[in-house]
Chain A
Amino acid sequence: MERRYAGRSAAPGIALGAIFPLTTGTGTRVFSGAAESEAEALRLALNAALTDLKGFIERSTGDAAAILEFQVALLEDEVLAEPAFSAIAAGRAADHAWRQAMQQEIAGYEASDDENFRARAADLHDISERVLAHLTGAAIETTVPPGAIVVALDLAPSRFLAIDWSSGGALALTAGSTTSHVAMLARSRGIPAVVGLGVDLAQLNGQALVDAHRGVLIVNPGPTARAQFERDAKAAAAARSLASAAALEPAVTADGTPIRILLNIADPRELAGLDPAICDGIGLVRTEFLFHDRQGLPDEEQQYSAYRQIAEWARGRPVTIRTLDAGGDKPIPGLTPAGESNPFLGVRGLRLSLAQPDVFRAQLRALARAATHGDVKIMLPMVTHPRELVAARRMLDAEVAALDAAGIPARRASLGIMIEVPAAAIAADQFDADFFSIGSNDLTQYVAAAGRDIGAVADLADPTQPAMLRLLRWVVDAARVQGIEVSLCGDAGGDPRAIPLLLAAGLRSLSMAPALVGGAKLAIAVIELGAKVESKPWPT
């Protein structure tokens, strides 16, 4: 029988295929009932987790290896699993016993007054999840069949990237968020995704249809739903072929105004097979990918080689790389503070970088070195006060001078800021930046005081509401007065419905996921900007 589950669209598109469940560490496991076999299961899982970690260490260097060695030391210590083995002896199932023991251990860390100890709770959490994944069999690498509808509670970015999406398919997450790293990757790859379905994974099997435009998952679709799918698929295929032809054309409005089209990239692997000719450069490289592979922090060399690879791909086109934007909904174990009551208003973005100067310096050095291989620009996220920009610039200048003194090739790349905190948007004229890039996702949610991933208020988080359009115009004018470039790199930048309003607000440079370039260029081609664009500074 047909069943419909409503969620939120995290990446547009439609797909029909066989459901393929990917369980995570929170999957279920059948209790054997015998204490001895439960204890043996836990021992095997502990050993398997240890083998994973030791494998990661072999591929890591410096700080990354040190963090993993700490996890290995804890996991090798029999004291860690003692309470779990006692609970198993008393009749508990291995996964429950382990989870409870680790929750208690983590609580001990989180209760500390010392921030350094609280931050280590993330390492314990990592260990806990890794062992659980082995206990529940979730860690066994499975090959996803081509074109499958992948269903999971949530998905780690590395697992998304490990799946071969070349034959299509879709992603349906029972939990998950539209702003998560995996949601960004799905948008970038053009893989339809719905999240927040709020259904038990065990109920999902058979054939399914993902309609990510409407944000629904339809299990065992009936004839009506299938017929609708056929019509939608035909229309989508026609739009796609039009868009892919348009992607290589220049972006020009109906009345001849050229628009700069830049790409948003969350992982260098996205660039494989992409022709740089579809864009005028890269407007946003999210660098969190380097910090998210659960293998600790990347060192300067790893970062340099990743940034250099992106700069070389662009063949002389500008590449704007954003410094680490961790925190908020993007925590990084061991780096971002744990237990903030409101992480979106806490130590995130540049605030975190300035609080972790060693991590920030390594990134600035890697960026300055990569800047010798292309037109690399450095962009700071979550800038709130001009003094933060001053502090970051001082650090960048000092690192460039140190590299020069050491005879290491480096270039002082231009340094710009994201405009995503309302304070920075309102006082944009006060920032002595080399360029602005409007982060419309965060700016919208801070201006509207409404999170995009909170379904009940998502309607209020509209990037084209009057308050936003006024702010955009004001920021564009501030940039014009200062003679610096301004672009927009939120999801609105690639949304054909938002683009006319963004251009009317004065923007002439938009950055978007690669899959959206063709559609955006088609939308731009029919826009009549008129003889004069209304762009009075606000307030007058």
Chain B
Amino acid sequence: MTTIAPSDSVPKTNATHIGSALLVNDVGLHARPSVKLTQLAKRFGAHIEFAREMSGPWVDAKSPVKVMRFKAAKGEMLHFRAKGADAAEALAAIVSLVERGFVTEGEESSQPP
């Protein structure tokens, strides 16, 4: 099994980057979108979390199980925060994925079956 790396590449700088994005895809943060989100988050060393309110509770964006437990529906505003060396880059990539409705290159729609 893959282990989720406890952020051992973290933190050169302790600055926390923050961003927000509206869930626009029809099914919300559902099966396939949640896989895409966690796969993208795992590409970065930064510790990445998201929440409904800035006051939390914050959820690990690298855990598909936790992302699914969160049950975010279409139309919800999600706040992201990232901490670590590549936090700025990670945040930009994730916000962009959510805003595109989880459509990745070579796809027309992110609708699951």
Contacts and interface: CB of A to CB of B under 8 A. Distances in A.
A358 B111 contact: yes
A79 interface: yes
A301 interface: no
Interface string A116-138: 11001001000000000000000
Contacts of A105: 65, 69
B30 A80 contact: no
Interface in A40-99: 43, 46-47, 50, 63, 66-67, 69-70, 73-80
A73 B1 CA distance: 10
A139 B38 CA distance: 30
A109 B34 CA distance: 14
A67 B112 CA distance: 8
A335 B113 contact: yes
Contacts of A80: 65
Contacts of A79: 60, 63, 65-66
A66 B28 contact: no
B35 interface: yes
Nearest to A356: B113
B31 A67 contact: yes
A334 interface: yes
A329 B83 CA distance: 49
A116 B33 CA distance: 12
B113 A358 contact: yes
Interface string A350-370: 000000101100000000000
Contacts of B2: 76
A66 B32 contact: yes
Given A80-B65, A108-B69, A120-B68, A334 B1 contact: no
A334 B113 contact: yes
Interface string B1-26: 11110000000000000000000000
Contacts, number: 74
Interface in B60-79: 60, 63-66, 68-69, 71, 73
A25 to B, nearest CB: 20
B28 A114 contact: yes
A112 interface: yes
Contacts of A116: 27-28, 30, 112
B113 A63 contact: yes
Range of interface residues on chain B?
20 to 34
A472 B35 CA distance: 51
Contact of A77 (B4, B28, B73): B4
B113 A46 contact: no
A77 B63 contact: yes
Contacts of A461: none
Contacts of A108: 69
B71 A114 contact: yes
B6 to A, nearest CB: 11
Given A73-B38, A77-B65, A79-B63, A117 B4 contact: no
A297 interface: yes
A46 B1 contact: yes
B80 to A, nearest CB: 19
A-B pairs, top 4 by smallest CB distance, nearest first, are A73-B64, A63-B113, A79-B65, A70-B31
Interface of A: 43, 46-47, 50, 63, 66-67, 69-70, 73-80, 105, 108-109, 112, 114, 116-117, 120, 123, 296-297, 334-335, 356, 358-359
Given A77-B38, A108-B69, A334-B31, 17 more contacts: A50-B1, A67-B31, A67-B112, A69-B35, A70-B35, A70-B64, A73-B34, A73-B39, A74-B68, A76-B64, A78-B1, A79-B60, A79-B65, A109-B68, A114-B28, A116-B28, A296-B113
